[in-house]
Structure 1
Amino acid sequence: MSITVEPVVSRRLQKQFTQLAWDLYKGDPYWVPPLRQNQRELLNFDPDPFYEKNEIQCFLAFKDGKPVGRVAAIINNGHIERYKERRGFFGFFESINDQEVANALFDAARAWLKEHDILLVRGPTNPSLNHECGLLIDGFDSMPTFMMSYNPPYYADLIEGYGFRKVEDLYAFWGDLAMLESLDPKLKFVVDEAKRRFQPVLRPIDKSRFAEEVRMFLDIYNKSLVATWGFVPLSDAEVDHMAKGLKQLVVPELTTVCEIEGKPVGAVFGLLDYNPRIKKIDGRLFPFGFLRLLWNRKKIHRVRLMSTNILPEFQRWGIGLVLLERLVPDSLKFGIQEAEFSWVLESNHLSRATLERGGARKVKSFRIYDYAPTEPAAAEKS
């Protein structure tokens, strides 16, 4: 049985590349299809501002003429410039449980990166750490929340079998929102002291100024994560594109902005878990999927708190807890019962400890891998 790998260079191959996920996950109760148009943009099959500066090449594996695996090789020039290393990325990996197929895909991706003088590889990122990323390695017994990844358990064997090794884990924490109403006394003290010291003004985002508010939030996001492992700031074009995509999905009650002396210094951003509805519409927003996605949103009882960001000079003062405290009453009134805090870096000891002390429970783990040739012969493998 022969295995071949082709670069995706035609509309026909693009369609086969995207369709493969539907074929591999058929019948899986926990898999959630991607929003189809969004997936085409993230793959650069349709224009996306991420690729104004960066590059991607998709590859499709065939076994006896049938599509059986896929991967994308990604050049993130922002990462190369920020970290002064020629490292490429892989993403959008899917495969049957066959090490030879996985090896052929990673060989093709590495060969393409090598043509661009890149030997180091990290992933999965779809297509960057600012998007869906990480391989699920623990927590396969439930559906992922909105914009979180999902995959079969055997993917870790295929990736590690090729020679990739763990570099960082990401965690998802679950919490009953009502738990935040009765904080650990030490955390309550931190909240009260932060309020006394800074006299913060707290408010939800203003949807009448939505574009401006999202840009404000993403500006805080970019500035707050400068010391975070692997972080690359979003470009202005990416910020504007994300603002347009989020406008209909955001519920103001699930957001908080913190202002100190009239200056926004922190924000927490929650999104309803739309995944059960995305699964029902099979990732199709048109012609009527968008209406089904947004209809009667108060029946969605889970939120993904996807980002709590504080300007560096106000970090470690408890402002994050202050933001969450304001969020709780509005969220409960909206009908939210549970929250997922995701993702949290393994190396972010402060956030992990705060969540655990507050009663949150780690429910899923995701892994980022690195590949580096260990000797000259290995570097020439491709």
Structure 2
Amino acid sequence: MSPSVRIQPVTSRRDRKAFLQLERDLYRGDPNWVPPLWFEQKKLLGFAKHPFYDDALGQAFLARRGDEVVGRVLAVVNHAHNRRYKEKRGFFGFFQSIDDESVSTPMLDFASQWLVDQGMTDVRGPVNPSLNYDCGLLVDGFDTPPTFLIPYNHEYYGRLIEAAGFEKVQDLYSYEAHIDTLEDLDPKLLFVINEATRRFNVKCRAIDRSRFAKDVRSFLEIYNLSLQQTWGYVPMSEAEISVQSGGLKHLIVPELTSIAEIDGQPVGAGFGLLDYNQVIKKIDGRLFPFGWWTLMRGKKSIDRLRLISTNVLPEYQKWGLGLVTLARILPDAMKYGIQIGEFSWVLESNSLSRGTIERGGATRTKVHRLYDRSIVPGQGGPRQS
């Protein structure tokens, strides 16, 4: 008879190391797994300083069977989300487990009980640690590696999470298109691009290297404003914008970005981020001491682009300026040598964006899922062991 499972909070340096190590152990030999950038993951877990936790509370947990670590999860109280939506919703993320419900269910119950103790009534996930970062559980598209900053997990994870009482609340779609396909746009989309450009006298440009920090900040501010009505969205704080701006400075290739301006004022912004996963696997997710140099040196060999976002201020969103903003990137992407563009992620409920992408010839390749569960005692809440 195997030893019983113990769920314990992460409290020590040794625990934090074991939390990170479990992911390596579970995916050893999986050709599609790409290690995270470990230094960044530590910050997003709250193991090192990150401004997300200025307005949030997190607690990591480990599941052990005997001396073996067999599962992990992070429970999060995102105060900004609950203020915005007037909810008492907790979140879970960074979920990893062996294929055993006797491990995953009590672990998720334990994390849920911690959220109950913080006053929460519902839980959503996985988010790592919010929708502004890695999020969603891969449920379709296991045959290829993920692109940069897109989660990957074992196929059995969905079954484990559903066995713990979680139900689907929203899917996130990834679309892929060969660069040649994007050249031959639907004539209706071309008409929208040309008409919107003429109507508003839109000027599009790449991020300016001479004012890089200012332009990146403009993008993030437009990102915040444009998503106000998006399901589940919570704006990044000023401190988060500042940290993100600094991090993106080294990763963004200016010619693969676009800022749309009307009368000199930015109204739309979009950027493609190189699929650094093609290099990250070679450095095993370690930026130091020499991984960062290898990552930057490998930029030119990357032939895949993740089109993370094309955002337009709310007052211009129905006029096709998103397409105008995106169209500027295409010629430079071809010059750079990009072969594949991935649009990710797109909410299942965002029928406008999905329709535009699909009309443009892109094919859906991956689906990530978010789950909800009530944790009110007596209403599907945490089960007592």
Using the size of structure 2 for normalisation, the TM-score is 0.97
Single out whichever of 18-27 and 294-303 deviates more from structure 2.
294-303
Q: Determine whether 1:143 maps to 2:145.
A: yes
Equivalent residue number for residue 305 of structure 2: 303
Q: Pick from 348, 357, 364: which aligns with 1:362?
A: 364
Distance change >3 Å, CA 377–CA 261, structure 1 → 2: closer
Equivalent residue number for residue 113 of structure 1: 115
Take 2:194 and 2:382, find their aligned partners in 1: how far apart are those partners?
Answer: 59
1:224-243 correspondence runs (5 A): 224-243=226-245
**Could you list the per-position Cα deviations for residues 337-369 of structure 1 after superposition, in whole angstroms to 9, with x for gaps in the alignment?**
111000000000011000110100000000000
Task: Give the superposition deviation at 1:377.
Answer: 6.0
What secondary structure sits across from 1:366 in the alignment? strand
Equivalent residue number for residue 312 of structure 1: 314
Q: Determine whether 1:334 maps to 2:336.
A: yes
Distance change >3 Å, CA 350–CA 232, structure 1 → 2: same
| Letter paired with 1:249 | L
Task: Give the superposition deviation at 1:108.
Answer: 1.2
Task: Give the superposition deviation at 1:263.
Answer: 1.1
| Letter paired with 2:79 | N
Percent identical among aligned pairs is: 56
Q: Pick from 61, 83, 87: which aligns with 2:85?
A: 83
**Could you list the per-position Cα deviations for residues 261-309 of structure 1 after superposition, in whole angstroms to 9, with x for gaps in the alignment?**
2210001111000002111100100111011111142211100000110
Task: Give the superposition deviation at 1:196.
Answer: 1.3
Task: Give the superposition deviation at 1:375.
Answer: 6.9
Distance change >3 Å, CA 65–CA 118, structure 1 → 2: same
**Could you list the per-position Cα deviations for residues 205-242 of structure 1 after superposition, in whole angstroms to 9, with x for gaps in the alignment?**
11221221111111100000000000000000000101
Contact 2:122 2:376 in 1 (8 A): no
Distance change >3 Å, CA 96–CA 299, structure 1 → 2: same
Contact 1:110 1:119 in 2 (8 A): no
Take 2:276 and 2:379, find their aligned partners in 1: how far apart are those partners?
Answer: 47
Take 2:364 and 2:38, find their aligned partners in 1: how far apart are those partners?
Answer: 30
Take 2:320 and 2:201, find their aligned partners in 1: how far apart are those partners?
Answer: 13
Q: Determine whether 1:160 maps to 2:169.
A: no
RMSD over aligned CA atoms reads 1.1
Q: Determine whether 1:48 maps to 2:68.
A: no
1:242-257 correspondence runs (5 A): 242-257=244-259
Take 1:12 and 1:328, find their aligned partners in 2: how far apart are those partners?
Answer: 47
| Letter paired with 1:320 | G
Contact 2:274 2:305 in 1 (8 A): yes
| Letter paired with 2:275 | D
Single out whichever of 174-183 and 276-285 deviates more from structure 2.
174-183
Equivalent residue number for residue 106 of structure 2: 104
Task: Give the superposition deviation at 1:246.
Answer: 1.1
What secondary structure sits across from 1:315 in the alignment? helix
Task: Give the superposition deviation at 1:378.
Answer: 3.9
Using the size of structure 1 for normalisation, the TM-score is 0.98
Equivalent residue number for residue 345 of structure 1: 347
Take 1:341 and 1:272, find their aligned partners in 2: how far apart are those partners?
Answer: 12
What secondary structure sits across from 2:120 in the alignment? coil
**Could you list the per-position Cα deviations for residues 229-261 of structure 1 after superposition, in whole angstroms to 9, with x for gaps in the alignment?**
000000000001011111111101110000012
Contact 2:279 2:298 in 1 (8 A): no
Equivalent residue number for residue 8 of structure 1: 10
Take 1:318 and 1:39, find their aligned partners in 2: how far apart are those partners?
Answer: 36
Contact 2:113 2:382 in 1 (8 A): no
Take 2:224 and 2:130, find their aligned partners in 1: how far apart are those partners?
Answer: 14
Contact 2:10 2:61 in 1 (8 A): yes
Q: Pick from 187, 190, 193: which aligns with 1:191?
A: 193
Contact 1:180 1:325 in 2 (8 A): no
What secondary structure sits across from 1:110 in the alignment? helix
Contact 2:51 2:240 in 1 (8 A): yes
What secondary structure sits across from 1:294 in the alignment? helix
**Gaps in structure 1 of 5+ consecutive residues:** none
Take 1:245 and 1:193, find their aligned partners in 2: how far apart are those partners?
Answer: 36
Take 2:81 and 2:181, find their aligned partners in 1: how far apart are those partners?
Answer: 38
| Letter paired with 1:91 | G
